[in-house]
Structure formats: C-alpha cells, structure tokens
Structure 1
Amino acid sequence: MPSQRGSERRRQRGVLLAGVAVLLLALVLAAVLASALTRGKEEARPEPLRWQGRGTTRNLREIVLGRCYGYLAERRAELGDKDCLKIWESLKDAFIHKNPCSATTEDYRPLMELASHPISCNKSLFWSKTNDLVHLYTKSSHRFLTLEDTFLGYMLNGISWCGDPSAPGINYESCPKWSECESNPGSVFWKMASKMFAEAACGVVQVMLNGSIETGAFRSSSIFGSIEILNLNPDKVSEIHIWVMHNIGGPQSESCSGYSIKKLKNILEERNFKITCEDNYRPVQLLQCVHNPDHPDCSLCTNSTEAP
C-alpha cells in the first residue's frame, strides 16, 4: 500500500509539473506573439513626410501660450479679454494631422477672428529686407507697429509649424519651405496676416526699405510688394512715407531716385496715394549710429529728402 501511494503521488506530481510547463510555454508563446504584433504595428506606422525646411518648433504650445499671456499683460492690457487657450486650439486645429501642402485661408480664419484687434491710425509700419533694423526701431521708439508687433504677429514670429497625416499629427522633423509648395502653413498664415494688417492701416503709413541691396530696395515679389501695397485702402490711408535706409558704411545701391523706388511710386500713384520718400530717415539712422558711433557716416548723420 505505501508503494502504491508513493507511485500515485509521483504521477500526480508529474501531471502537475507537465501542466505548469505547458502553461509556461503558452505564456512564452503569447508574449512572443504580442511582441511580433507590436513590431508589426510599429513597422507599419508611416514615416512623417520629409521636407527641406525646419520642423515644428519644439514646445510650440508653451511658447504660443507664453507669448499670448505676456503680450496681454505687458503690451496691450486693453486686449485682456482675449482667450489664449482658444487661440492656441484654433492654431493647432488649422494644421494638425493635415498635409502641410494643403493649407487654406479657411483653416486660419478662426484664429484671425480670435486674435485680431484694431490698429491706431498713423501707427502702421511696413518693411522689406530691413527686419533687424525696423524692429530695433519699433522697440526703441514705440511710435509704430509692424505686423510682428501686433498681437497675432508677436505670438508666431520666428517659429515654425506644420502638420502630418501620420501620428502624432505634427511634424517636428521638417516642414515645407515656401519654395517647395505655395500652400504651406507658414506661407498661407503670413500672407493672410499681412493682408489683414494692410487692410487695417489708416492715416499716414510708413515703409522702411533696404537701399543697400544690389537687387533693388523694392521687389514686387515680396510680401510687401505682392500683398500689402495691394491691400492698402486709398480711402483710409492719407499718405505713404517711404524710408530708404542704407547700412552704415554702405553700400548705397539705391536711393529715392532709384529704379525700383520709381516702380513702387508708379504703383502707388496709380492707386491715388500721396507719397514722400526720404533717404536715411534721421531717427532710424541715429539708431544705426548708436551701434557705430565712430564711423565717418555717423559724424553728421546727414540725410536727404526727395519730393514725390
């Protein structure tokens, strides 16, 4: 009898061990299968589209919200009723999960409506190829506003964004350059914002151009030449002052009497604008001389004015 009991126990133990082995084998197979399926899904996930421009700015949400709150608190307290979270959501909805070569003005219309605000007459300052100088001037004088000094322009100036049909819907690696496709998110946005900025201008309007560029101070293909001057309203704008600025030390490639400036004047005159042009507008030239006090060009900071 003891022998039979021992044999029964050994059989039970063997069955139990076999069951445990089968269970372990099943668990291992399940894990291997799950891993293979996961790898398959990862391999099937499409790569983000590749472009030549820089990708979406990292921490885009935090940057936009930070600029939004900062602008409302420090620059335009009267715009305090703007909802920064809604503004961010409207920007995100304009491009996330979308092909970045299929952006439309309708994508950005909600954003424009949320972020737009009136601009006082005699405050609008347009520019072309004078980015650093014009914004150095607006920051120091506080007399004028460029597009980048408005609420909308301030929030998005200098950053990049674009969507992608694949997850996570935002391409952080690359975005299309303006030359790669016309309807990319940045191009559509800035053209639309520039049009809105020009339409809002009233009173005396200022324009700062670069007279040290060999290709000419005015280019009809620029945002200013192709969008902004075409959307200035002659019934609202009383006069346009053109400032042709030269780099300290030159070159002085073009002045108010130059070919491209004459072309600009003809375009504006055909639209019945009153125009004046000034080489090296003195307040801006003095600002240039702050950074070049010993240069001969700054000894007198002379300027010249040409009648239209």
Structure 2
Amino acid sequence: MPLQHSSARTWQRTVLLVGIVVLLVSLVVAVILASVLTQGKQEISPKMLKWKDRGTTRNLQEVILGRCYSYVMARHPELGDKDCLKIWESLKHAFIYKNPCNITTEDYQPLMELASHPTPCNKSLFWSKTNDLVHRYTKSNHNFLTLEDTLLGYMADRVSWCGDPSFPGINYESCPKRSECESNPNSVFWKMASKMFAEAACGVVQVMLNGSIEAGAFRSSSIFGSIEISNLNPDKVSAVQIWLMHDIGGPQRPVQLLQCVNNPDHTDCRLCSSMETP
C-alpha cells in the first residue's frame, strides 16, 4: 500500500509539473505573438497627412503661452485674471488628433470664451490688404486696435497649427491651405475671431483699405468683406470711416510718415518738396 501511495503522489507531481511547463510555454508563445503583432501594427500605422501649406509652428505651446503671459501681465494688466494655461489647453484640444479639414466652430468655442475681452468704443480698426502698414500704425498710435492687437489675435498672429489623426496628433510638416479645404484650423479660428471682433465694435469704426490694388480696394471674398462688415452691429456702431491707402507717390494720407520711413528718398517724403527752386 505505501508503495502504491508513493507512486500516485509521484504521478500527480509529474502531471502538475507538465501542466506548469505547458502553461509557461503557452505564456511565452503568447508574448512572442503579441510582440510580432504589435510590430506589424507599428509598421502599417498611418502616416501624417501631407498638405501644401507650412506645418505647425515649432514650440507652439511655448509661443502661445509666452505671448499670452506677455499680453495679460505686461501689456494689459487689467486682464490679469485670464488663465493662460487653460487658454492653451483649449487651443490644443480644438485641433490635436483631428483631421485638419474637419474643424468646426464648436471646437474653438471654449477658447473664444476664455480669451475674449471688451474692445473700447471708437477704437476698432479693421483692414484688408494693408497688414504691414496698419500694424505699424497701431504700434505708433495707440488710439486704435486691430484684431491682432486683442489677446486672441496677438497670440495667433503669424503662427500656424494643425492636427493629424495619427501620433503625435500634431502635424509639424504641413497644414492645409484654404484652397485645399475651408474648414482647416487656421481659417476657422480667424473667421470666428474676426466675427467676434466685429460684433464687439462700437462707436466710430475705422477701416484701412488698399487703394493701389488693381482688383479694387474692397473685395467681398476677404475676411472684412465676407465676415466683419456683415457682423457690425448697427445699434452699436454710429459711423464707419474708410481710409483708402495708396502706395507711396499717391494721394497724401494719415500714415504717409510711416511709409516714408521705408522710402525716405521718395519725392513725396522731402519736407520741402513743394518749395524746391527750379
């Protein structure tokens, strides 16, 4: 009997050891298969979409946060309650990991609410095709504000961004032009910001247009022509004054001195040009 008992125990141990070995082999095989399948997925993972415009600005987070802090801490301390970290997170969530041709106004709504602030009456200055001139003017004359002089515009001026469904969710190589798709991150952002800037305007509104463009100073397809002018509130805006700017050499204008800084040798920039002797 003791011998039979010992044999039974030895058999049970043998079966248990075999079972453990089989289990360990199964686990090793499972790990190897999982590794192979994972590598295969990585190899066939989708690549970044390719577009025709420049990609997301490098160090975008640092740029946006730096500009936000500069604006609310140094330039406009009255807006010190703005939360720049929340503003950045709202901007990021508006486009990261999203197809850059499927951006909606709902994506940017939290950002618009966080970064908006009142615009003083009689200070709104709109523009079209006068980008460089109008901003040199507002830098020297603080009586007027363009969209780019607000917090939203100041943060986003001359930077770009777009997402991509694949990792890491941001495309630094290329972003879509407006001609490739209208609902791209930058176009939707500027349309919403422009609409909000126009709706906030009150009192006398100024508009700087380029009178030296062959196609005409006013273009219905421009942001001013298609969005801003139609969102001015007639109950809040008492008058619209249009400044028709010409290239140097044309009729005199309020910003001629600024233009002469870049063209000091032009005849119109000589202090006594009309009094020169023959």
Tell me, what secondary structure is at the counterpart of 1:101? coil
Correspondence for 1:118: 118
CA deviation after TM superposition for structure 1 residue 299, in Å: 3.5
Q: 1:201 to 1:164 in 2, by over 3 A?
A: same
Pairing 1:109–2:123 present: no
**Separation in structure 2 between the aligned mates of residue 74 and residue 65 of structure 1, nearest angstrom:** 13
CA contact (8 A) 1:286 1:301 kept: no
Q: Using the aligned pairs only, state the percent identity.
A: 77
Amino acid aligned to 2:63: I
Deviations 1:10-52 (A, max 9, x none): xxxxxxxxxxxxxxxxxxx999989855642331211011111
Tell me, yes or no, if the aligned pair for 1:244 and 1:280 is still in contact at 8 Å: no
Structure 1 segments, 4+ long, off by >3 Å, are: 29-39, 299-302
User: Match for residue 167 of structure 1?
Assistant: 167
- 1:143 match: 143
Greater relative contact order (Cα < 8 A, sep 6+): 2
- Residues of 1 paired with 2:87 and 2:64: CA distance? 9
| Offset, 1:73 | 1.7
Contact 1:243 1:280 in 2 (8 A): no
Alignment of 1:14-29 (within 5 A): none
What secondary structure, in the 3-state scheme, does the structure 2 residue paired with 1:205 have?
Answer: strand
Counterpart in the other structure of 1:298: 269
1:281 aligns with: 253
Structure 2 CA distance for partners of 1:152 and 1:165, relative to 1, 3 Å? same
Change (3 A) 1:245 1:30: same
Q: Which residue of 2 aligns with 1:130?
A: 130
**Normalising by structure 2, what TM-score?**
0.83
Matched letter for residue 253 of structure 2: Y
Query: Which residue does the alignment assign to 2:6?
Result: none
Deviations 1:174-194 (A, max 9, x none): 111011111111111100000
- For 1:133 and 1:221, the matched residues in 2 are separated by 21
Residue in 2 that maps onto 1:243: 243
Tell me how far 1:234 sits from its aligned partner.
1.1
CA distance in 2, matches of 1:198, 1:235: 13
State the number of aligned residues. 245
CA contact under 8 A between 1:285 and 1:301: conserved in structure 2? no
The SS at the match of 1:63 is helix
TM-score w.r.t. length of structure 1: 0.75
Aligned-partner Cα distance in 2 for 1:90–1:39: 34
